[in-house]
């Protein structure tokens, strides 16, 4: 039996997906059970790099999701609408769905998975996080025996490319961003990448899988890389760190079992050079999962791009075909979904406020070069229980002294209270950088 695919979108990922589907030789034999039935696009006249019969193409995407002949919808148009409505309509019409759309899943996952569970269909999304890197299915299945403590990822390729080039070339953010856009890594509107929102969508999805509950996206703290300067990258290097945009989801080790609080956040971070994520460069992604009893396990590879992302899309298709075949043979019920492939959690995870986070900080001050300034800074921090690992005057910028502080693990709320007081000291000119340290 051949199962029919309705593909929505024939852009970067859609094209990669069709390339795999049209060249099944040497891949999994189940690929021969799939056929491309319709392809929805915005423009029929656009030249395409894959050779598909013209009659498959349509601009009427709704027609595809309600077509009774279609078994599986592959949503690769991106964005929120009409993607959300098309996915829901597909589910309503009994279709399984494969999507790479982290924006839709992180915002409307509850609605989508509730609808899918009610209809007994699957919504699979391996491509939505880490592109081609298998991380969604491993969290759902292979790591299911573990209690996960922490997921730490470099899950945005554009920002990792920018930070890598800033470090290697001493270049400034704006110059490298322009290059990233010219090379096609960053979007024409790079806001979601640069401001940490894309990584925020992705860590919300990973946290939900790792900790078995839903996540409210508005509770995910997102800070991007716009304020990271070449100066900070150089100081970080001297102190033994590299700066990376990390997405972190962790159980709060200080919370009582009844509280079971999570911290879910995205921010530029000073990562010790010996840490496994410090050497992940350019557009590569990596996700480090820590749990009991597995310890540490890291997933590394290409987090974006046509072929790698399509690899994840097609792996989801294969999982669905395998189930559909068993349903056809009446080995499994067509109305009960496989627990390890569906998303069944109902409750929302409790997210701790950022003031309760315990972390180290790096902070750079510009001050008047007057006696006692280092002492005053140290005293303010001390009065708020912020213990310092190091405080050094690193040099001068014009006539201002530059002082860099690294704290021990401190309560974020205390740190900010201390900083507010420090800001009001006469000797402080400005605080150009505040970054967290892993
Ligand atoms: N690119 C990547 O490396 C990765 C992308 N993703 C995700 O994959 C998804 C697809 O991304 P990508 O392939 O890069 O996107 P593209 O912009 O390259 O392609 C989008 C496709 O969808 C079609 N389309 C968009 N809106 C509509 C609409 N309203 N009606 C009909 N057709 C529409 C476009 O048609 P037309 O061709 O006619 O313009 C195009 O074929 C997104 O959710 C993205 O976040 C995930 C991981 C990596
Ligand atoms: N814009 C994303 C692409 C894939 O999700 C990135 O840069 O990682
Ligand atoms: Na993936």
pLDDT tens for 338-378 read: 888 888 788 999 999 999 999 999 999 999 988 899 999 99
Q: Give the 3-state secondary structure of 272-309.
A: ECCCHHHHCCCCEEEEEEEEECCEEEEEEEECCCHHHH
Whole-model pTM over 0.90: yes
Give distance in angstroms: CA of 377 to centre of ligand 3.
45
Which of 136, 183, 198 should be mutated for ligand 2, with most atoms under 8 A from CB?
198
Could you tell me where the DSSP H helices lie in 170-224?
173-182, 191-194, 197-211
- Residue 157, annotated as binding a ligand: no
Q: Give me the pLDDT at residue 58, please.
A: 98
Q: Which domains does the chain have, with CATH numbers?
A: 3-129+306-328 (3.40.50.720), 136-302 (3.30.360.10), 356-437 (3.30.70.260)
Ligand 1 site, CB within 6 A: 9-14, 40-43, 46, 61, 76-78, 82, 100-101, 127, 131, 304-305, 309
- With CA atoms as reference, report the closest residue to 135 among 154, 117, 120, 116: 154
Known catalytic membership, residue 202 = yes
What is the C-alpha to C-alpha distance for residues 369 and 400, in angstroms, rounded to an integer? 6
Judge whether residue 294 has pLDDT over 90: yes
Question: What would the mean pLDDT of 78-92 be, rounded to a whole number?
Answer: 97
Neighbours of ion ligand 3 (CB under 5 A): 126, 130, 133, 135, 312
Q: Taking residues 186-202, what's their average pLDDT?
A: 90
pLDDT over 80 at 425, yes or no: yes
Please give the pLDDT value at position 228. 94
Two structure tokens written together for 99: 């999507």
Query: Per-residue pLDDT tens for 145-155?
Result: 999 999 999 99
Cis, bond preceding 82 (omega within 30 deg of 0) = yes
The answer to whether the bond into 285 is cis (omega within 30° of 0) is no
Nearest to 226 by CA among 303, 157, 166: 166
DSSP 246-261: EEEEEE-TTS-TTT-E
* Residue 287, number of CB atoms within 10 A of its CB: 27
pLDDT reading at 184 higher than 70: no
Instruction: Share the mean pLDDT of the chain.
Output: 94
**Minimum-distance ligand to the CA of 40?**
1
Task: Choose the catalytic residue: 95, 140, 167, 202.
Answer: 202
Joined together, the tokens standing for residue 54 give: 């013209």
pLDDT band at 252 (very low <50, low <70, confident <90, very high): confident
- What pLDDT sits at residue 257? 72
pLDDT at 391 over 80: yes
Report d(CA 162, CA 38) in Å as an integer.
38
Token representation of residue 75: 């949503």
């Amino acid at each position: 039996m051949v199962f029919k695919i309705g593909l929505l979108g024939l852009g970067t990922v859609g094209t990669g997906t069709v390339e795999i589907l049209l060249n099944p030789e040497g891949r999994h034999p189940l690929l021969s059970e799939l056929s491309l039935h319709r392809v929805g696009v915005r423009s029929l006249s656009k030249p395409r790099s894959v050779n598909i019969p013209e009659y498959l193409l349509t601009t009427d995407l709704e027609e595809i999701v309600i077509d009774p002949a279609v078994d599986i919808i592959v949503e690769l148009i991106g964005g929120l609408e009409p993607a959300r409505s098309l996915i829901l309509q597909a589910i309503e019409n009994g279709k399984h769905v494969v999507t790479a759309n982290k924006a839709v899943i992180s915002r409307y996952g509850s609605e989508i998975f509730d609808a899918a569970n009610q209809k007994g269909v699957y919504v699979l999304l391996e491509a939505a996080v880490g592109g081609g890197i298998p991380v969604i299915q491993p969290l759902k299945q292979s790591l299911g025996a573990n209690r996960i403590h922490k997921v730490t990822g470099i899950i945005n390729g554009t920002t990792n490319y920018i930070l890598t080039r800033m470090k290697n070339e001493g270049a400034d953010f704006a110059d490298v961003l322009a290059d990233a856009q010219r090379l096609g890594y960053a979007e024409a509107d790079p806001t979601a990448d640069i401001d940490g929102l894309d990584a925020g969508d992705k860590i919300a999805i990973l946290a939900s899988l790792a900790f078995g509950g839903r996540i409210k996206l508005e509770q995910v703290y997102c800070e991007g890389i716009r304020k990271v300067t070449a100066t900070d990258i150089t100081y970080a290097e001297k102190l033994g760190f590299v700066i990376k945009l990390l997405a972190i989801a962790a159980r709060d080790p200080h919370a009582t079992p009844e509280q079971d609080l999570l911290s879910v956040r995205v921010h530029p971070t000073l990562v010790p050079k010996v840490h496994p994520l410090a050497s992940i460069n350019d557009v590569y992604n990596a996700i480090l999962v820590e749990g009991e009893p597995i310890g540490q396990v890291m997933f590394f590879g290409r987090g974006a791009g046509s072929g790698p992302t399509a690899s994840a899309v097609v792996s989801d298709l294969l999982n669905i075909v395998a189930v559909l075949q068993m349903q056809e043979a009446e080995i499994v019920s067509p109305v009960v979904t496989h627990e390890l492939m569906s998303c069944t959690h109902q409750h929302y995870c409790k997210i701790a406020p950022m003031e309760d986070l315990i972390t180290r900080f790096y902070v750079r001050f510009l001050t008047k070069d007057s006696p006692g300034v280092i002492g005053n800074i140290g005293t303010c921090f001390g009065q708020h229980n912020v213990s310092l690992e190091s405080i050094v005057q690193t040099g001068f910028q014009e006539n201002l002294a530059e002082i860099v502080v690294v704290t021990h693990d401190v309560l974020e709320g205390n740190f900010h209270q201390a900083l507010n007081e420090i800001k009001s000291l006469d000797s402080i000119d400005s605080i150009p950088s505040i970054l967290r340290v892993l």
